[in-house]
Chain A
Amino acid sequence: MNDDSVTKKLMFYFPQCVCDKPIIYHLVKDYNLIVNVYRAKVTPEEEGYLVLDVTGTEEAIQRAIDFVRTFDVTVNYSGKGVVRDEERCSHCGYCVPYCPPGALKIEDRATRKVAYHESECIECLACIHICPFGACTSAF
């Protein structure tokens, strides 16, 4: 990879019937991107999604996105596959040890407020399963 490569978190929403196109293959082969898929559900006769990191030059990523859009796939940059509802979160910190990348963590030792760094989330969904307050939810 070049020094000017960047990593972006993307979400693709698939309409029904796009599942026969090898989109990821083309991202790697034609646009020289490194692809890291966090979550995917692409099945026939259903709408689908793909949450992934792509690493490459800005220009290559943009061209790849343009290519993906030719398939009637919606591309979302916000990357918010897992959403933490500030109002529902009680900041107990129960989720912290279960979060493998440490996206949920206690940064201020005095107040023990739980911070959520969405960009570090790998969408393992552990927090969604265990949060007693239902503070974490999935976009899908």
Chain B
Amino acid sequence: MKTYEQINDRIESGKAVVLTADEIMDYVDKKGLKAAAKEVDVVTTATFGPMCSSGCFLNFGHSKPKIRMSEAWVADVLVYTGIAAVDVYLGCTQLRHGDPANMYPPGEFRYGGGHVMEDLVAGKTLQLFALSYGTDCYPLREIRTYFSIQDLNQAIMVNPRNCYQNYNVAINRSDRTIYTYMGKLEPDQKNGNYCSAGQISPLLNDPFYETIGVGTRVWLAGAHGHVYAEGTQHAGGVARTPDGLPMGGAGTLALTGDMKQMKKEFVRGVSFIGYGVSLALGIGIPIPILNEEVLRRACVRDRDILAPVVDYGVDYPQNTGNVIGHVSYEQLRTGQIQVDGKTIEVGSLSSYYKALEVANLLADEIRRGDFRLAAPIAPLCRDTKMRPLVKRGNNR
């Protein structure tokens, strides 16, 4: 048994034993659970992939004379201004003004909120255009100016939903090619796409949220951020394997961090042909090895993790809830899965390569004593279920 304080003391003294979630599996097989639990202080988990519920609050400071922005665009991407005068929220799936979207399908969606966030972190100069109705205290009614992240008072990433615990494998059983947030899916289940870091993904290494909770310090694209709440659509109460691994979406995390501390290679705007724009993020979460059980769960392997195969031709858009079957991450990693006797080629939208990079960067920071762990101040709920949106009233 170890406490957060003991682990942090070892981190401070530069003596902490830190392994990545990729390394710990073989290490425990070799050393045995008991000995390894005594020796290892932290296992670093990570993920890198598109996470649509991401965005940031920006504060521009005040112009002379002052403006209360009532509509604003950053790099021609609309931002939300229904908060204080020069605060805005930029969402990563917001399209650039004038983007034809899917008017001529499939649209290209070349630039949007996620790309603005990437450009911000990269230190690029961006245009701000804002309008106002004008007030006695904020008389200016229009401003067009240029800024970079260093000019801002705050640029705080606030992501309502990151790090989905598990995710669908998307296939298409319809008779036409479809363009989805899970990529281009060819008809008659010709191909499929999946999206998780699997055996090194944070919440798959802590399936019961024993160490990851509200207040946990995380590595958010290089910044030291934290979990500020359970993520939207967090639903811990899903079907689980005998090992307790969720067999579908399940838990999610709401994360925040200072964008001025972020690294540009882990904040990446993405464009999905025929679907839209989003943001791919690199996130690392340390798991303190408090006891043998925590370590045992952090040794999860791709073969233990089951992902639901879902038809995005009908079942996903119509919300039927049908699941065709489950496949393991070990199968997915071969590039082919079998569904009803048919072989389907599969690709990943989540980058294991980048996730490994994050897990190693975080492990190095902890070893150097630059990243201390924070104990959660509140646990994530284990039994909530996902509620649907019910259409009520006489609307057709």
| A interface residues with partner B (beta carbon < 8 Å) | 87, 90-98, 106, 109, 111-114, 129-130, 132-134
Contacts and interface: CB of A to CB of B under 8 A. Distances in A.
A96 B49 CA distance: 16
A53 B193 CA distance: 33
Contacts of B349: 92, 94, 132
Contacts of B348: 92-94, 112
B183 A130 contact: yes
Interface stretch (B10-18, B90-98, B265-273, B313-321): B265-273
B354 A109 contact: no
A61 B278 CA distance: 48
B183 A90 contact: no
B347 A90 contact: no
Interface residues of B, number: 29
Nearest to A92: B351
B237 interface: no
A106 B346 CA distance: 12
Nearest to A132: B270
Contacts, number: 69
B214 to A, nearest CB: 29
Interface in B358-395: none
Contacts of A98: 184, 191, 347
B353 A113 contact: yes
12 contacts: A91-B352, A92-B354, A93-B348, A94-B347, A97-B347, A98-B347, A112-B348, A112-B353, A129-B273, A132-B270, A132-B272, A133-B280
Contact of A96 (B110, B347, B350): B347
Contacts of B167: none
Interface of B: 48-50, 110, 183-184, 191, 193, 265, 268, 270-273, 278, 280, 333, 335, 345-354, 356
Contact of A114 (B49, B191, B271, B353): B353
Contact of A90 (B193, B278, B346, B351): B351
Nearest to A95: B347
A94 B183 contact: yes
Contacts of A132: 50, 270-272, 278, 280, 349
Which has the most chain B C-beta neighbours within 10 Å: A96, A112, A132? A132
A112 B359 CA distance: 15
B170 to A, nearest CB: 12
Contacts of A91: 351-354
A133 B345 contact: no
Contacts of A90: 48, 268, 280, 351, 353-354
B277 to A, nearest CB: 9
B117 to A, nearest CB: 14
Contacts of B271: 132, 134
A118 B294 CA distance: 45
B351 A93 contact: yes
Given A95-B347, A112-B333, 17 more contacts: A91-B353, A92-B350, A92-B351, A92-B353, A92-B354, A94-B183, A94-B347, A96-B347, A98-B347, A111-B352, A111-B353, A112-B351, A112-B353, A113-B353, A114-B353, A132-B271, A133-B268
A21 to B, nearest CB: 35
Contacts of A94: 183, 193, 347-349
Contacts of A92: 48-49, 347-351, 353-354
A90 B356 CA distance: 12
Which has the most chain A C-beta neighbours within 10 Å: B193, B335, B347, B350? B347
A130 B270 contact: no
A98 B185 CA distance: 10
Contacts of B356: 111-112
A130 B273 contact: yes
A89 to B, nearest CB: 9
A75 to B, nearest CB: 32
Contacts of A133: 268, 270, 280
A103 to B, nearest CB: 15
A129 B270 CA distance: 13
B21 to A, nearest CB: 14
Nearest to B49: A92
Contacts of B335: 96-97, 106
Which has the most chain B C-beta neighbours within 10 Å: A93, A95, A106, A130? A93
Contacts of B354: 90-92
A87 B278 CA distance: 19
Nearest to B184: A130
B164 to A, nearest CB: 15
Contacts of A96: 335, 347
B353 to A, nearest CB: 4
Contacts of A95: 347
Contacts of B48: 90, 92
Which has the most chain B C-beta neighbours within 10 Å: A92, A97, A114, A130? A92
A99 B361 CA distance: 31
